[in-house]
Structure formats: C-alpha cells, structure tokens
Amino acid sequence: MAIDKENYKNLDELGLFLASIESVTITFNPIRTIEFEIIIPFDHSESILRWNRGKLILKNIYWSSLNFINEIYEYPEFSRSAILLESQRISDTYLRLNKLSQNDNLQLKEYYFHIDLGNKESEIYVVCEGHELLIDSNPKLLTEFEGFIK
C-alpha cells in the first residue's frame, strides 16, 4: 500500500505511541541492524498504565538517519511511525545498489519514526528490508522497571 506522501507523518503504524526507548544498538557486521530496547504501554485505555518490555529490530539496513540527544532524566519516546513502500529514499537506494550490482530482488521499505527526546523532537528515517517487533507478555507498572524515576 502506498501511503500519502504528506500524511504519513501523522500515523503510528507500528503502535509505538509512548514507547520509551531504553537503548539503541547499531550492528554493522555481519548484518546491519538497529535494535531499540523499549518499554511500551500495555493498554492505553487503563486508568493506571502498565508497561511491557520489548524490542524493535530493523533488519538489513541500507540507509538510515539517526539523531538522538542524551539528557539526564529524559527518556526518548516514540510518538509516530510509518512504513512506506515507495519513496525517494528507496528509489535512491535502489539506484546505488544497481550501480554496485547488488539489487537481487530486494523489497526495501522506508521506516519513519517521530521521536520525542524531552526538550527536542527528532525524525528518523531507515531504509531496510523489514522489521521485527517483540513484546514480552508480562505487563507491570513503570516504576517496576529499573532506572525509571518513581
């Protein structure tokens, strides 16, 4: 499905709204990945939110733009996300791969993330082959997670 190029920034296709980012790991070898360790709300309709630990793994990355700041007492959190099947970044990536003769039936996607960094906001773009979202099934209060302010 092609998403309207103007409205995709208002979506949350991965359901990450309010998911706090505990850590980000970038792996370059043997396969390029970006892994976000997250704590995500279990059910937004609860009067007292419970949270689950999880991982968002972006796999086989061909291009990305990451912009984070690290402030004490601030936890970056996702506010919006979208998956694009067509974009200028995807087209440019295919062109670069064709020049290197490395475009072997790839099905690239562009991931868009809007991140609230506390005192700043950031947009992240990643062109890759896909993602995996793993969520634990044991919800608990946010104060039960180590490191979060009580």
What is the reported pLDDT for 47?
Answer: 79
Residue pair 121/115 in contact (Cβ under 8 Å)? The answer is yes
Euclidean distance between CA atoms 74 and 126, whole angstroms: 24
Q: Per-block average pLDDT, block size 10, for the chain (150 residues)?
A: 68 90 91 94 80 94 87 85 94 88 83 91 95 93 71
Q: Which of 76, 80, 68 is nearest to 16 (CA)?
A: 80
What is the reported pLDDT for 1?
Answer: 46
Reading the block at residue 47, the tokens are 């009067």
Reading the block at residue 106, the tokens are 């790839």
Q: Categorise residue 108: left if φ over 0, alpha if ψ from -120 to 50, beta otherwise.
A: beta
